[in-house]
Amino acid sequence: MSLKNKAAKLDFSNLPGLAPDAEVPTRPKTAPGAMMAFANEARSDLLRENEVLQAKARQAEALQGRLDEALNELRQWDGAKASRLIDPALIRPSRWANRHELNFNSPLFDKLKAEVADAGGNVQPIKVRPVAEPAGSFEVVYGHRRLEACRQLGLPVLCLVDNIEDRALFVEMERENRGRKDLSAWEQGMMYRRALDAGLFPSLRQLAASIGMQPGNVSTALQIAALPDAVVQAFASPLDLQFRFVAPLKAALERDEAGVLERARALAAQMPRPGAREVLARLTGQDGNASLNRQTRYTLGGKVVGSCDKDAQGNLTLRFKAGALAPEKEKRLQELLAKFFD
């Protein structure tokens, strides 16, 4: 067989890309066609890239939204301080503490202590500041009663720790304690006096402005703190002293200081001591008639039904509950009183 015949019998159909049904890309036959094809391919690439960029932009927008939410939440906590548990032995009272020790021996303190015990600690944190000596110790800004409750119960104290200077400490403690409404007039006065004596404020007016009180109210509290010790000790507790006691006590001291102090020492030695109103009345009595200043109570069936009271100005008040006197007795009482007058 000739070489020509052999070549005619060769089968090239199985070679890659030469199968009868193989797709052969159509190529443009002209230069404008080639340019058009190139432009179409470039447009397709640009569209794909644009889709990718848009997807990335949507992802970035979603991430920015989450970041904004996180930042807004952080802003809500701006300035907040984390609380921590501290051993009460490491915390000392403030030198301007306005809580008298009698506050820790009262029904109110017992109630607070029971609440702390039930909760396993103070739910509402106290505030403290670090002090240099001894190392690792703290000073109370406010929360002396909660600290004492935890100390007596052997529990750690939940605290907010803040670096705060003396004047800011005083203002925070005063406002927080006064806001609780169980701080006595005498405690307030003693706190203000200590602050002024220490030079924390240059004047009474600046102290009043710093704590948001009227100067007159601060002055009244300071007058209570300035009462002679004998007068304060005449009361069963200095916590019994009230703002309204200042004027009559001051007037009595100006009129007869020696007599007031003598009666005060007698009251201090009396056990049990009378109530605060009776002490006030007896301290402010005149002409040796202090015994007339005490309150007289009238009872019926073991219940108090009336009283005869004389205030610091000498006004006498006779008062009975409705129904305490039968009509005939009420008439006889009026007739008896009428005999004392024209």
The secondary structure of 221-233 as a DSSP string is: HHHHHTS-HHHHH
Q: What is the pLDDT of residue 89?
A: 94
Q: What is the pLDDT of residue 296?
A: 72
- Pairwise pLDDT comparison (30 vs 224), residue with the higher score: 224
Name the CATH architecture for the domain at 80-182: Alpha-Beta Complex (3.90)
pLDDT band at 128 (very low <50, low <70, confident <90, very high): very high
Q: What is the pLDDT of residue 6?
A: 58
- Positive or negative CA dihedral for 6, 11, 16, 19? positive
Q: What is the pLDDT of residue 292?
A: 40
Peptide bond just before 28 cis, omega within 30 deg = no
pLDDT band at 329 (very low <50, low <70, confident <90, very high): confident
Summarised one tens digit per residue, pLDDT across range 310-322 is 765 567 778 888 8
Interatomic CA distance for residues 124 and 25, integer angstroms: 81
pLDDT band at 12 (very low <50, low <70, confident <90, very high): low
Q: Please count the other Cβ atoms lying within 10 Å of the Cβ belonging to residue 64.
A: 10
Summarised one tens digit per residue, pLDDT across range 80-113 is 567 889 999 999 988 777 666 666 777 888 899 9
CA-based nearest residue to 142, from 174, 185, 166: 174
- Widest pairwise Cα distance in the chain: 174
Interatomic CA distance for residues 121 and 116, integer angstroms: 5
Query: In the sheet where 137-142 sits, what is the strand order?
Result: 83-86, 157-161, 126-131, 137-142, 91-92
> Over the chain, what is the mean pLDDT?
80
Tell me what percent of the residues of the chain surpass a pLDDT of 70: 77
CA-based angle 309:280:226, to the nearest 5? 160
Q: What is the mean predicted confidence (pLDDT) over 171-181?
A: 75
Q: Where are the beta strands (DSSP E) in the chain?
A: 83-86, 91-92, 126-131, 137-142, 157-161, 296-300, 303-310, 316-320
Q: What is the mean predicted confidence (pLDDT) over 256-272?
A: 88
Interatomic CA distance for residues 165 and 200, integer angstroms: 11
Q: Please count the other Cβ atoms lying within 10 Å of the Cβ belonging to residue 304.
A: 11
Most confident range (mean pLDDT) of 52-61, 250-259, 283-292, 295-304 is: 250-259
Q: What is the pLDDT of residue 27?
A: 61
Summarised one tens digit per residue, pLDDT across range 184-230 is 888 889 889 989 998 989 999 999 999 888 999 899 999 999 999 99
In sequence order, which residues have a C-beta less than 8 Å from that of residue 226 and are 6 or more positions away?
189, 193
Residue 291 has pLDDT above 50, yes or no: no
pLDDT band at 138 (very low <50, low <70, confident <90, very high): very high
Q: What is the pLDDT of residue 288?
A: 43
